[in-house]
Structure 1
Amino acid sequence: MDRLLLGSHAPDPHTLDPHALDPHAAPAEEAALGALLRCWLREVGGPRGHVHGAGPHLTLRVAGTPVRVRVRGGIALRFDGPPEHLVTVQGAEGRWRPLDLPSLVALVERELDGGNEEFAAQVQAGREAVAAILAARARAVPPADPWLASEQALVAGHPFHPAPKARSGDGWLDYAPETHARFAPRLLGVRADLVVQEGDTAALDAFGGAPPGYVPLPAHPWQLDLLAAELRGPLADGRLVDLGPGPRAVVPTSSVRTVYDPGTGMCLKFSLDVRITNCVRKNAWYELSGAVELTRRLAPVFARLARRFPGTRWLSEPGYRSAALGTRLLEGLGVIVRTGPWAVCGPGTTPVLAGALAAGADGVPEAVLARRAADPVAWWEAYVERVAFPVLDAFFRHGVVLEAHVQNVLVGFDASGWPVEAVFRDLEGTKLVTGRHDLTGLPGEVAGPLSYDAARGWDRVAYCLFVNHLAEVAATVSSTVAGTADGVLRALWAVARESLERYAAEHTTDSAEPLTRLLAGAPLPAKANLGVRWARAADRTAGYVPVPNPLRVAEGERR
C-alpha cells in the first residue's frame, strides 16, 4: 500500500472526521484515495492532456481544480507525500491543502458529468472495507504456510481500480482472505440423477460421504446464504440434502472465492454471486466445461513450455461438479477443482503470490526480501525470465493467451530467495487465439468464450504481463534501494529490455511483430477500470488506454 504522508496543517477541532479516532481510518483513506487518483491520472487526466510536470510534482486538473502529487515508480504511479488541491476561499490567494477522498470523488463526478449514482457509495464502501479488514487483521493469526500468507496479504487490492475492496453482500469478513479467515465448507448431497460433472472430481468426494442415492457437493457458506430463496424448494423435496459443515476448514486465497484445502492439497473454485471489483464471481455454466476442456488442451502446451523454459508450472483444473437444478443453481453451486501449488513446485521451492511481491513486504518470506535487496538488478533479471518468457512463448508459438497478472502468477523461490519457477493459474482468463486451434465438436456456447482474436489476445497479454505485473513489481523492487529509486528503476527496465531482446532473437516465430513493436517503444495498453465501473458495464467490455512504455530506449541511451 502506498503511504500518503499526513499534511503539516493543524486540524480544525470543529471539522474532525469521526473516523479519525479509528487507527485504521487513515491507511484506509490513503488506499482508497490513491487508487482513485491513479485511475484518474491513467485513464482521464493523461489522455486529455490535463497532466503536467511541475518540479517534483505532477499537476493535473480535475473539474478545473488543480491537484498535485509527487509520483515515483514509473507507470505504477506510487505517491510520495499527500495529494493536494488548490483551495481558494472568498477570492483570497489559493493555498495547497491535503486532498481527501470525498473531495476527489466530488471532483471526478463533476468532471464526468454525473450519471452514476452508485459510484460514490462504491468508493466509500471500498474505503470502509479496508478499514474493517485492517481491524480484523490486527486480531488474527496469519497462516504458517508461506504461500497462504502471501495470498492473504493484498489488503489494499488493485492499485488501479476506483473501488478495489468494495464487495456486495453482508458477512464477507468471515470469508475474507485479508483477515486470515478459515472456514468449513457446507456439504450438500445432490440426488445422483441430478449430478452434473466432468473430469476428475475425487477431491470433492474427500469432503465426506453422502446418503445412498446422493453425491457429495461442497458449497461456500456465503453462497448458500445468497441462494437461500432458490434452495428452499430442492431442499424441501429431497433433490438436495444439507449434510452440515464439512469435516475441516479451508483457507481463502486472494480471489476470495477460491480456497485451499489442506486435507487434499487441492484448491476449490466456488461460485459467489458477489461483485468483487468489476465482476460477479460466479462460475458460468460454460466456464465449468471450459475449464476441463482447457486442462486437456493445455497439458501438452505446458509440457513443451517446461522443456523450453525449465521452472514453468501451471495449476490444472481437471474437473467440476454441480447440480441440474436450473441455470441459476447449476452456476451458483458449481465448483471447479484446481491443483494446489505445493503439488507442482519442486523440492525446496516456496511459491509466493506475485501480488504480494508487488504490494511490498507483507506476506513475502524474509529470504526473498533479503536476496532482492542485496542484488535487485540480478534478482529482477531472473524474475523477468521466469515469468515473461513462457507467457510470450505461449502466445507466439502456441496461440495461448495467459492472463499473467499479479493474482494469477505464483513465483517459486529457492531457499536463498532466488526466483526459480513461475506457476500460472486460473483458466477462466486463459484463451485460445482464433484460427490457431481446432474447436470443432465443442458446443458453440463453450467454444466462443474460449477464444480471442490475435489483436485482443495481445492486448490482454501485454496489459497483464507488463502493466499489471512487471511494472508493479519493478516499482516495489526499486523502492527497496534507499535514495536511488529512479536510477534503479531505469536499470531494471534496461535489463528487462535486454532479456526480452534475447528472447526475441532466440525463441520467437515470424508472428512476433507485436513484441518487436513493443521493444521499439510502442505504448502499452492499460485496462480502463474506472471507465468500465463508471459506465456500470460488464468487465469483458473494458477497453484500454495507452501508457508510456518503460522499455523504450531514450535518445542516446543505447550503447
Structure 2
Amino acid sequence: MDEDRPFAEEGRPSVDEGRSTAREDRRAVAEAVTLGALLRCCVREVAGPRGQVWPAGPYLLLRVAGTLLRARVHGGIALRFDGPPEWLAGGVWQPLSSEMLVKLVEQELPGGNEEFAGQVANSREAVTALLRARERARPPDDPWLASEQALVAGHPFHPSPKARAGSGWLRYAPEAHVEFPLRLLGVRADLVAGRGDTGALGLLGSAPPGYVLLPAHPWQLDLLADELRGPLSDGRLVDLGDGSRPVVPTSSVRTVYDPGSGLCLKFSLDVRITNCVRKNAWYELIGAVELSERLGPVFARLAADFPGTRRLPEPGYRSADLGVRLLEGLGVILRPGPWEVCGPGVTPVLAGALAAAVPGTGNRSGAHTGRFQGGHPGTPASAPYGAADPLAWWHAYVERVAPPVLDAYFTHGVVLEPHLQNVLLGVDHHGFPVEAIFRDMEGTKLVRDRHDVSGLPPAVASAITYDTERGWNRVVYCLLVNHLAEIAATVADHAGGDTLPRLWSITRDVIEAYAAGHGSPPLLAELLAGTPLPAKANLGVRWARDADRSAGYVPVANPLA
C-alpha cells in the first residue's frame, strides 16, 4: 500500500476525495453562474424581442435558434432561476449547459463572433478561480470592504460577467480578498500633469527633491513596462518601490482603498474587464474633476431636500505629462472613502452586495450589515432586510435612493448613474437604510441643453454630457432595472410569500409622491402608466464588439404598472 496516499476512515471521504468534491462543487457553481447570466441575456435580448418567450407556470419557456428551453423562475424582471435550466430533445427535457447555450446564441445572432465562446469560458474559469481563492482567504474586517469584495457572480445580465483579459489578475482581484502595496513613482516636477486638489496623495509617501509623488497600480506598471523603460532610464520618472502599507481593491478592480489615509484611488488598467478596457482617458481625467466641482452645489441642495443623500466627489487627478499613452496609463483620480462622508453610527454597504446571489451556495443573497463571511461567496452573518418588517425596510431603501436620483435629473439636469456598483447604502446599527452614497463621476453626466459646457475642450464636453433622451434612459435603466429590481427580488426572497408585488407597489407610492411634489413631470407620468423600461443590451454590445458606451436598450416589462 502507498503510505503517502490519504485514506478514509470507514464512512468518511479521503482527503483526495474531499478535494475532488470541492473542485467539482466550484465548477458546478461557476457553471450555474455562467449559464444563468447567459440565459438571462437570451430571455431579455434574443428570445424576448423576437416574441419567443412564454410563461408556462412554473416554468418560463423560450426558443433560441429553434431549440426550446425552460427554467423555473422567480424575482420578476430580475429572473432568478430555481433549479437547472433544460432543453427539449426528442420529447425529453435534458440539462442545459453553458457551452450548448453559447452554440445556440452563435447560431441565432447574425454576423458571427469568434471571440464570444472564449469570453464566456474565460468568465466561467474566473469564477472557479475566485471560489477556490476565497476558500483559503480571510475577508476584511471592515464591513464596507467586505461588501465590495462580495460580487463573485458579477453582473446577472452579462454574457461573460467575470471575463478578464491578461494574466496575473487573481493577485489583484477584490473577490479573492487580496491586498497589496502600491508602487510609488516620482515624476520630475516639470512633467507633472493634473487638476484639482491632489494634496492628499502626500499621505501615501514622499518623493525626492525635484520630483512629485505618483502612486501606481502594480498590475498597470507591468502592462506599461515597455513604455516606461525610457522615462525610468533618463530620469523623467523614478521608481520609489512599494508603498509602506497594503491597499484593498474594491468592486471595480482598478479602484483601491488605502485604510491608512482613508483615500480611494481610481487607476487606469489597460485590460478588458467584462465589457471595457478600464483606462482613464485624458478627457475622463479632466471631466471627473470638472463634474465634481460643478456638482458641489447640486448635492448640497439634494442633501437638504432629501436627508441622507451623500456623494463621494473626485476632487483631483494626477499623472505624468509623457505623451497621451502614459498620461492616461498613469493617471490616478482621488476619491474619499465612504467612511469619510457617512454620519455617526452609519455603516456603508455596497448595494451590489445586497443583491449578490450565487447559485449552489445555500443562500440566495450575499448581503448583511456585518462582515461578509469567507468560504462560499455571500454567506450572510445577518440580513439587513428588516426581518421584523421587510416592507418598512424596503420603503426606507427606496426613499433613500430614488427621489434624489429623480430630482437630480428633473430639477438639476444631472444624470446620476445609480447602478448597483455606484451606490452605497448607509445603514444604522439595526441594518435600517438611513443614507444613500453616490459615486463615480465617469458615469455621471450633465443634460446637454441645461448646462453650459462651451468653455471645455470638445472631447471633455462630450464625455460629461448626455442629450435628454439618452440621459433619461440611463436613469431609468440604472435605477429601476439594474438596481431596484435586483434588490426587490432579494428582499422578496428573504420575506417569502407574495411579497414582490407589494414591494413594487411601495416603489410606485414613493415615485408618485415625488412626482406630485415636483410638478408631475410627463416622463414620470409615462413611467407610472406602465411604459416599458429600457434594459441595457450587454449581450448585443459584446456580440458586436462595440464600445460599452454604444450599448443600446431593449424593452422589458414595467413592474410599476
Match of 1:125 in 2: 122
State which of 501, 509, 522 in structure 2 corresponds to 1:490.
Answer: 501
1:371-407 alpha-carbon deviations (Å, 9 max, x no partner): 5222111110110010001000000000000000000
Matches within 5 A, 1:88-487: 88=90, 94-113=91-110, 115-360=112-357, 361-366=365-370, 369=383, 371-482=385-496, 484=497, 487=498
Structure 2 Cα separation of the partners of residues 29 and 20 of structure 1: 14
Label 1:404 to 1:81 Cα distance change in 2 as closer, same or farther (>3 A).
same
Residue type of the partner of 2:88? Answer: L
Structure 2 Cα separation of the partners of residues 453 and 460 of structure 1: 11
What are the ranges of 5 or more consecutive residues in structure 1 without an aligned counterpart?
1-17, 89-93, 553-559
CA contact (8 A) 1:20 1:26 kept: no
Structure 1 Cα separation of the partners of residues 551 and 241 of structure 2: 40
State the shift of 1:443 in Å. 1.6
State which of 547, 556, 560 in structure 2 corresponds to 1:538.
Answer: 547
Structure 2 Cα separation of the partners of residues 113 and 419 of structure 1: 45
1:62-90 alpha-carbon deviations (Å, 9 max, x no partner): 111110111110000000111000123xx
1:400-453 alpha-carbon deviations (Å, 9 max, x no partner): 000000000000001111100000000001000011111232222211211101
Residue type of the partner of 1:379? Answer: W
Give the match's secondary structure for 2:83.
coil
CA contact (8 A) 2:368 2:384 kept: no
Label 1:161 to 1:183 Cα distance change in 2 as closer, same or farther (>3 A).
same
Matches within 5 A, 1:6-17: none
1:548 maps onto 2:552 in alignment:
no
What are the ranges of 5 or more consecutive residues in structure 2 without an aligned counterpart?
1-19, 358-364, 371-380
Structure 2 Cα separation of the partners of residues 502 and 22 of structure 1: 51
CA contact (8 A) 1:190 1:215 kept: yes
Give the match's secondary structure for 2:62.
strand
Match of 2:29 in 1: 27
How big is the alpha-carbon RMSD for the aligned residues of Structure 1 and Structure 2?
A: 1.4
1:38 maps onto 2:47 in alignment:
no
State the shift of 1:363 in Å. 4.8
CA contact (8 A) 2:385 2:491 kept: no
Label 1:370 to 1:268 Cα distance change in 2 as closer, same or farther (>3 A).
closer
Task: Point out 4+ residue stretches in structure 1 off by more than 3 angstroms.
Answer: 18-22
Give the match's secondary structure for 1:248.
strand
Residue type of the partner of 2:528? Answer: L
State the shift of 1:20 in Å. 8.9
State the shift of 1:22 in Å. 3.2
State the shift of 1:57 in Å. 0.7
State which of 506, 516, 519 in structure 1 corresponds to 2:528.
Answer: 519
Label 1:352 to 1:538 Cα distance change in 2 as closer, same or farther (>3 A).
same
Structure 2 Cα separation of the partners of residues 218 and 509 of structure 1: 48
Does 446-455 or 121-130 show the bigger shift? 446-455
State the shift of 1:458 in Å. 0.2
Structure 2 Cα separation of the partners of residues 181 and 514 of structure 1: 44
State the shift of 1:340 in Å. 1.0
1:255-298 alpha-carbon deviations (Å, 9 max, x no partner): 00011111111100000011111111010001111111111100
Normalising by the residue count of structure 2, what TM-score does the alignment of the two structures yield?
0.92
CA contact (8 A) 1:368 1:413 kept: no
Label 1:162 to 1:370 Cα distance change in 2 as closer, same or farther (>3 A).
closer
Structure 1 Cα separation of the partners of residues 283 and 244 of structure 2: 30
Structure 1 Cα separation of the partners of residues 151 and 57 of structure 2: 33
Does 331-340 or 202-211 show the bigger shift? 202-211
1:297-351 alpha-carbon deviations (Å, 9 max, x no partner): 0000000000000000000000000001111100000000001100100000000
Label 1:295 to 1:24 Cα distance change in 2 as closer, same or farther (>3 A).
same
**Matched residue count:** 525
Among all aligned residue pairs of Structure 1 and Structure 2, give the percentage whose two residues are the same amino acid. Answer: 70
Structure 1 Cα separation of the partners of residues 285 and 385 of structure 2: 40
CA contact (8 A) 1:397 1:509 kept: no
State the shift of 1:509 in Å. 4.1
State the shift of 1:21 in Å. 4.7
Match of 1:87 in 2: 89
State which of 65, 71, 74 in structure 1 corresponds to 2:73.
Answer: 71
Structure 2 Cα separation of the partners of residues 439 and 161 of structure 1: 34
Match of 2:374 in 1: none
State the shift of 1:23 in Å. 2.7
Give the match's secondary structure for 2:257.
strand
Structure 1 Cα separation of the partners of residues 244 and 284 of structure 2: 28
Structure 2 Cα separation of the partners of residues 325 and 19 of structure 1: 52
Structure 1 Cα separation of the partners of residues 449 and 101 of structure 2: 46
Normalising by the residue count of structure 1, what TM-score does the alignment of the two structures yield?
0.92
Structure 1 Cα separation of the partners of residues 67 and 464 of structure 2: 45
1:97-145 alpha-carbon deviations (Å, 9 max, x no partner): 1101111111111111461000000000000000000000111000000
Structure 1 Cα separation of the partners of residues 435 and 56 of structure 2: 42
Structure 2 Cα separation of the partners of residues 299 and 87 of structure 1: 60
Match of 2:360 in 1: none
